[in-house]
Chains A and B, each alone.
Chain A
C-alpha cells in the first residue's frame, strides 16, 4: 500500500479527478479512449445529446483565457445534458483579491458537480481537488507548464484512430517542449501506452538534454528528429518566446524546425501530423503541411469533444 494514494483515484482505483496523465495506469487511459469511441457516434444521431449528466452542473473555471479549450469542454458537457456555467475568473473574483479557495468554496455553495479548471499556476487543479466537496470532480484543462491531460488523451485517441496500436510507433514531438504542458502530457501518455520511441525535437534552449530523464530521445536536428517517424506532433510556438532570449526570430525558427513538405518526406510514407492548435502558419508549420493529406489537425478537434465527454462521464459515474 502506498503511503499516499494518487489523488485522481478512489480506493477502488477508479478515476474521480483528471489532473494529470502521469501516474494513471494504462487500463484507465484505454478505458477513456474506448469510451470516447462510443461518444464519437453521438454525432451521427438526430439528437446529438445523451442524458448521462442530466441535472449536473459543470463549472468552467478559466483563470487563464482559452476560448477554444473552454468551448470544447462546453460542447462536451452540453452533449452530456449537463448545465454549463462559464466563469471568466480572470476578469472577476481573482481581480477583486479573492483567494482561489474562497472562490471554490463559493462556487461549491452554488451546487457545482464538476469543475473544469484552467490556471496559469502549475498544481492549481490539485489544490482545488483537495479542498472541494467529496462529490465534486475536477478536470484539469491546463495548469501552468505542468499538464493538459485532455489534450494528451485526444492526441492518443487520434494516434490510435489512425495507427491502431502504439507498440511499434516512433513519435516525434517538435517545438517548445520545455514550456509545453501538452508535450509533458503526451510524453506520459505515450510512455504509459507503450510507444517504444518518443523523440523530443527542437533547439537546445527549448529542448534541454535533461528531458532524457523522461525516457525520450532528444534531437536538436529536425531531419534526424522526423526521420522514419510514424507520428509528428507539432507544438505551437508561443509568441512571447520570440521576444526573449530563447529564439532569434520566427523566420530563423521556421528555417530550422518548421515542418515543410520536404522534411515530412523523411518521415514514414503514412505518417500523420498533429498540432494542438491554434497553428502559426509559417512559424512551426508550413501551410502545405497543415492543409495536406498527412495532417489530422481538424479530426483532432472532433475527437477532442468525444474524449472530453468520455472523461466527464467516467468521472461523474465514480464516487470518491
Chain B
C-alpha cells in the first residue's frame, strides 16, 4: 500500500463545480462503467440537469481482449437518448493511458453520430498512450505504473479511492 491519500468526496465537489461550468443546455452526461457511471449519476442529480444520464462500457471494443478475455460482463451500455447530434460529456473516475476512452468513443459511435464528445475526469494520473485529453480534471497526479487507482462507492453513496499494487 501507499501513503497516498485522496479525498474522493473533496475531488467530487471539484468535479461537480467543473462539470457545472461545462454544461450547455443540451449536454448529456455519459458515465464510463463502473466508477464513471456512479459519478455521472450523482452529478446528473446534483446538477439537476433534468435529462437522462447514460452509461457506457468499453468491454466490446477493448484492445486487450486477446490478453484479458472478456472478463466480467456485468458492464453494459445504456444510452436512453438519441445519439445522432447529441452533445456528450463523458465522465470517468481515473484517466491513464486513454485506451478505455478510445474504446468507449468507438462504442458510442455504434449508436450514432454525436455532435461533440468531451471528457471530464476526477483524476488524471498521467501515462497517456494515445492523443486523448480531458477538458476538465479535478486532480492531476503522477502514479507509478504498478499502482492502480480505483474509485469505490460506499453503501451510503459516498466515494472513496483505493490504491492497489498490481503485478
Please report A residues at the B interface, Cβ cutoff 8 Å: 14, 31, 34-35, 37-38, 41-42, 45-47, 49-52, 313-314, 316-318
- A residues less than 8 Å from B70 (CB atoms): 35, 52, 313-314, 317
Name which residue of chain A comes closest to B68, CB basis. A317
The reply to whether the CB of B109 lies closer than 8 angstroms to some CB of chain A is yes
Q: Looking at chain B's contact residues, is the secondary structure mostly helix, strand, loop, or mixed? A: loop
The reply to whether the CB of B69 lies closer than 8 angstroms to some CB of chain A is yes
Inter-chain contact B65/A52, CB cutoff 8 Å: yes
**CB proximity of B129 to chain A, nearest CB, Å:** 19
Q: List 7 A-B contacts (CB under 8 A).
A: A34-B74, A46-B112, A47-B109, A47-B110, A47-B111, A313-B70, A317-B71
- Cα distance, A49 to B109, chains bound together (Å): 12
The reply to whether the CB of B60 lies closer than 8 angstroms to some CB of chain A is yes
- A residues less than 8 Å from B75 (CB atoms): 38
Contact residues of B between 15 and 63, Cβ < 8 Å to A: 59-61
- Cα distance, A16 to B129, chains bound together (Å): 31
- A residues less than 8 Å from B10 (CB atoms): none
Name which residue of chain A comes closest to B106, CB basis. A51
Inter-chain contact B73/A46, CB cutoff 8 Å: no
In the A-B complex, the 6 residue pairs with the closest CB atoms: A317-B69, A50-B60, A47-B110, A35-B73, A45-B110, A38-B73
**CB proximity of B61 to chain A, nearest CB, Å:** 6
With A47-B109, A50-B110, A51-B60 in contact, is A318–B69 under 8 Å at CB?
yes
Name which residue of chain A comes closest to B78, CB basis. A41
Binary A-proximity of B91-119 (CB < 8 A = 1, otherwise 0): 00000000000000010011110000000
Bin chain B's interface residue count: 10 to 19
**CB proximity of B113 to chain A, nearest CB, Å:** 9
Inter-chain contact B59/A38, CB cutoff 8 Å: yes
Inter-chain contact A314/B60, CB cutoff 8 Å: no
Contact residues of B between 100 and 152, Cβ < 8 Å to A: 106, 109-112
- A residues less than 8 Å from B160 (CB atoms): none
**CB proximity of B120 to chain A, nearest CB, Å:** 25
Inter-chain contact B65/A317, CB cutoff 8 Å: yes
Inter-chain contact A41/B109, CB cutoff 8 Å: no
With A14-B69, A314-B70, A317-B68 in contact, is A41–B76 under 8 Å at CB?
yes
New A-B pairs, 11, CB < 8 Å, besides A34-B73, A47-B111, A51-B60: A35-B70, A38-B59, A38-B60, A45-B110, A46-B110, A46-B112, A47-B110, A52-B70, A313-B70, A316-B66, A317-B65
- B residues less than 8 Å from A314 (CB atoms): 69-70
- Cα distance, A51 to B76, chains bound together (Å): 16
Name which residue of chain A comes closest to B70, CB basis. A317
- Cα distance, A105 to B108, chains bound together (Å): 41
Inter-chain contact A41/B77, CB cutoff 8 Å: yes
Name which residue of chain B comes closest to A38, CB basis. B73
